């Protein structure tokens, strides 16, 4: 395996105008992924150089499909892994992003350029932002601050003719015996879609089930602004359960092999977080502080290093801001009805 021949190099040349916070040669490319289910390869996209925080998945077949690109800063690592798997520039048939947050879709413009035959699949509410990312990058800059450039990178546009808007229930063909079925799953974001693999039975859940980093152990909901909606999120979890997946693959991070238990846990955890947030909201208290106090016990035994990762990916402040926005919006809607 060699790093000197990345699929992107033959196209527009390496993209030195982007800020990549680390060099894949320096951190080392983690092999070529790991098979976690029949024809499913987990790729560690190493956000921030951290292992087991951001995952992409390669679904193998005559028309291979990548689920999640990770952030733009992960692109060199991702392309090196796909190259090591023997995937040439003409070989990738599709790329799906579960939603358009930068830790999932930031690399999509670069990956589309590196694989000129790949169709880019996205939720109907996300498509225009991939074609014209200026507004999305602006709002990400407000949310992430300096981390936008030091950690995530940005998002290059995808030519509109490369985009395929994915409706609920639509199938992406990976081969004659393999389809990825789109499951509209708002709640975490209104532009969220999960993918259910007909061959392995694995459901690629993006962030709709929450975040469970293998090194931190605890499943936490992910309820960021501006879209978080509790009832939609719970409904999406029920839709997942109804499909009886054989496993749940989280973007953060990895395959969980007990889907029934995981979905039940996600439902319960989400309701508890929402209850604590709602009580604080009505008492005029700080939601982030209330969540931190209530769920501190989840973090007992988690090392400082892993706490930091969890804080970046799934911080109490981001969850609290999403809860606050959801509660305020709901109150306004309720007031308007009275």
Closest distance to Zn ion from the beta carbon of 59 (Å): 19
Binding string to Zn ion for residues 158 to 197, with x set by CB under 5 A, is what? Answer: ----------------------------------------
Q: At what angle do helices 287-295 and 316-337 cross, to 10 degrees?
A: 130
Closest distance to Zn ion from the beta carbon of 252 (Å): 6
What is the enclosing helix (H) or strand (E) of 110?
A: helix 108-114
Closest distance to Zn ion from the beta carbon of 104 (Å): 5
Q: Distance (Å, rounded) from C-alpha 215 to C-alpha 36?
A: 18
Write the DSSP symbol of residue 220.
Answer: B
Q: Distance (Å, rounded) from C-alpha 291 to C-alpha 236?
A: 23
* Neighbour count for residue 93 (Cβ, 10 Å): 20
Region near Zn ion per CB under 5 A, out of 45-53, 205-213, 253-261, 270-278: 205-213
Q: Distance (Å, rounded) from C-alpha 33 to C-alpha 25?
A: 16
Radius of gyration of the chain (CA): 19
Nearest alpha-carbon partner for 170 in 196, 191, 207: 196
Region near Zn ion per CB under 5 A, out of 64-72, 112-120, 207-215, 256-264: 207-215
Region near Zn ion per CB under 5 A, out of 130-138, 203-211, 256-264, 289-297: 203-211
* Neighbour count for residue 304 (Cβ, 10 Å): 6
Three-state DSSP class for residue 301: coil
Cβ nearer to Zn ion, comparing 123 with 178: 123
Q: Is 103 near Zn ion (CB under 5 A)? A: yes
Q: What is the residue whose two structure tokens read 């969890």?
A: 310
Three-state DSSP class for residue 174: strand
Cβ nearer to Zn ion, comparing 39 with 206: 206
Residue 206 · residue 188 · CB < 8 Å: yes
Cβ nearer to Zn ion, comparing 103 with 227: 103
79 φ, ψ (degrees, to nearest 5) = -65, -35
18 φ, ψ (degrees, to nearest 5) = -90, 150
Structure tokens that stand for 213 in this block: 């980093």
Q: Is 110 near Zn ion (CB under 5 A)? A: no
Region near Zn ion per CB under 5 A, out of 101-109, 121-129, 168-176, 184-192: 101-109
Cβ nearer to Zn ion, comparing 101 with 162: 101
Q: Which of 207, 221, 230, 312 binds Zn ion (CB under 5 A)?
A: 207
Cβ nearer to Zn ion, comparing 110 with 207: 207
Closest distance to Zn ion from the beta carbon of 334 (Å): 30
Cβ nearer to Zn ion, comparing 178 with 252: 252
Q: Is 68 near Zn ion (CB under 5 A)? A: no
Number of residues that bind Zn ion (CB under 5 A): 2
Region near Zn ion per CB under 5 A, out of 24-32, 95-103, 124-132, 161-169: 95-103
User: Applying CB under 5 A, which residues contact Zn ion?
Assistant: 103, 207
């Amino acid at each position: 395996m060699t790093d000197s021949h990345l699929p992107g190099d033959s196209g527009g040349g390496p993209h030195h105008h982007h800020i990549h916070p680390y060099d894949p040669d320096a951190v080392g490319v983690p092999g070529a992924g790991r098979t976690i289910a029949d024809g499913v390869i987990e790729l560690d996209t190493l956000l921030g150089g951290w292992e087991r925080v951001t995952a992409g998945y390669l679904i193998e077949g005559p028309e291979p499909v990548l689920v999640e690109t990770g952030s733009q800063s992960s692109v060199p690592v991702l392309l090196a892994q796909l190259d090591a798997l023997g995937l040439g520039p003409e070989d990738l048939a599709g790329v799906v992003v579960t939603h358009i947050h930068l830790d999932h879709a930031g690399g999509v413009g670069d990956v589309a350029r590196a694989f000129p035959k790949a169709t880019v699949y996205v939720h109907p509410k996300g498509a225009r932002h991939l074609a014209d990312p200026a507004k999305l990058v602006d709002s990400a800059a407000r949310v992430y601050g300096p981390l936008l450039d030091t950690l995530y990178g940005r998002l290059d546009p995808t030519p509109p003719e490369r985009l395929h808007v994915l409706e609920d229930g639509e199938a992406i063909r990976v081969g004659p015996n393999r389809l990825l079925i789109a499951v509209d799953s708002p709640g975490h974001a209104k532009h969220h879609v999960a993918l259910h693999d007909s061959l392995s039975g694995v459901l690629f859940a993006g962030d709709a089930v929450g975040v469970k980093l293998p090194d931190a152990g605890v499943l936490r909901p992910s309820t960021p602004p501006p879209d978080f909606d509790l009832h939609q999120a719970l409904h999406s979890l029920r839709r997942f359960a109804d499909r009886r997946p054989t496993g749940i693959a989280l973007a953060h991070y990895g395959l969980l092999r007990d889907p029934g238990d995981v979905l039940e846990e996600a439902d319960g955890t989400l309701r508890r977080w929402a209850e604590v947030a709602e009580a604080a909201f009505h008492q005029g208290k700080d939601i982030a502080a209330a969540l931190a106090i209530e769920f501190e016990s989840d973090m007992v035994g988690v090392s400082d290093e892993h706490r930091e990762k969890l804080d970046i990916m799934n911080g109490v402040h981001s969850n609290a801001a999403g809860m606050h926005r959801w509660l305020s919006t709901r109150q306004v809607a309720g007031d308007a009805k009275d």
